[in-house]
A and B are shown apart, each in its own frame.
Chain A
Amino acid sequence: MFRSMLRTTGFALAALALSAGAQAQAPIKIGSVLSVTGPAAFLGDPEKKTLDLYVEKINAAGGVLGRRLELYTYDDGTSAGKANTFVKRLIEEDKVDILVGGTTTGSTMAMVPVVEKAQIPFISLAGAVVIIEPVKKWVFKTPHTDRMAAEKAFEDMKKRGITRVGLLAENSGFGQSGKKETLAVAGKYGMQIVANESYGPKDADVTTQLTKIKNTAGVQAILVFGFGQGPAVVTKNMGQLGITLPHYESHGVASEQYIKLSGRAAEGVRLPAAALLVADALPKNDPQKPVVVGYEKAYKARYKQEVSTFGGHAYDGLMIAVGAIKRAKSTDKAKVRDAIERTKGFIGTGGVVNMSPTDHMGLDLSAFRMLEIRNGTWTLVN
Chain B
Amino acid sequence: MLSQTLQYFFSGLTNGAIYALSALGFSLIYNASGVINFAQGEFIMLGGVCAVMLTAAGVPLPLAILIAVLVVSLVGLMLEKLAIEPAGDADVVSLIIITIGASIFLQGVAQVVFGPGQRALAPFTGDAPIMIFGASLLPQSMWMMGTGALIVLILAWFFGRTRLGKAMLATAHNRLAARLVGINTRHVLALSFVISAALGAVAGVVSAPITLTSYDVGIMVGLKGFVAATLGGLGSGLGAVVGGLILGLTEALAAGYISSAYKDAVPFVLIILILFFMPRGLFGARASERV
Contacts and interface: CB of A to CB of B under 8 A. Distances in A.
Interface in B203-239: 207, 210-212, 214, 216-217, 219-221
Q: Which 4 A-B pairs have the closest CB atoms?
A: A41-B116, A202-B220, A204-B211, A207-B11
Interface string A231-243: 0110010011110
Interface string A184-216: 000000000000011110111111110110010
Contacts of A220: none
B117 A42 contact: yes
A200 B15 contact: no
Nearest to A236: B127
Contacts of B10: 207
Most buried by B among A198, A229, A232: A229
B4 interface: yes
Interface stretch (B83-91, B168-176, B260-268): B260-268
Nearest to A197: B260
Interface string B96-113: 000000000000000100
Nearest to A39: B216
Interface in A10-56: 37, 39, 41-42, 45
Interface size, A (range): 20 to 34
Interface residues of B, number: 37
17 contacts: A37-B111, A197-B255, A200-B220, A202-B221, A204-B210, A207-B11, A208-B256, A209-B260, A211-B8, A212-B256, A229-B214, A240-B127, A240-B138, A241-B129, A241-B136, A257-B118, A261-B118
B261 A198 contact: yes
Given A211-B8, A211-B256, A261-B120, A204 B261 contact: no
Nearest to A42: B116
Contact of A257 (B8, B18, B117): B117
A239 B210 CA distance: 13
A15 B222 CA distance: 61
B7 interface: yes
Interface of A: 37, 39, 41-42, 45, 171, 197-200, 202-209, 211-212, 215, 228-229, 232-233, 236, 239-242, 257, 260-261, 263
Contacts of A205: 11, 14-15, 210, 252
Interface in B236-291: 252, 255-256, 259-261, 263-264
Given A206-B11, A241-B7, 17 more contacts: A37-B116, A200-B263, A200-B264, A202-B217, A203-B15, A204-B15, A208-B12, A209-B255, A212-B260, A229-B118, A232-B118, A233-B212, A241-B129, A257-B118, A261-B118, A263-B120, A263-B127
B119 interface: yes
Contact of B212 (A39, A42, A229): A229
Contacts of A209: 255, 260
Contacts of A200: 220, 263-264
A276 B212 CA distance: 27
Q: Is the interface of B mostly helix, strand, loop or mixed?
A: helix
A208 B135 CA distance: 11
Contacts of B221: 202
B47 to A, nearest CB: 15
Contacts of B217: 202
A211 B18 CA distance: 21
B252 A208 contact: yes
A257 B18 CA distance: 23
A200 B254 CA distance: 14
A112 to B, nearest CB: 26
Nearest to B255: A208
A208 B261 contact: no
Given A37-B111, A200-B264, A215-B4, A208 B117 contact: no
Contacts of A42: 116-117
Nearest to B122: A263
A205 B261 CA distance: 15
Contacts of B207: 204
A260 B56 CA distance: 13
B1 to A, nearest CB: 9
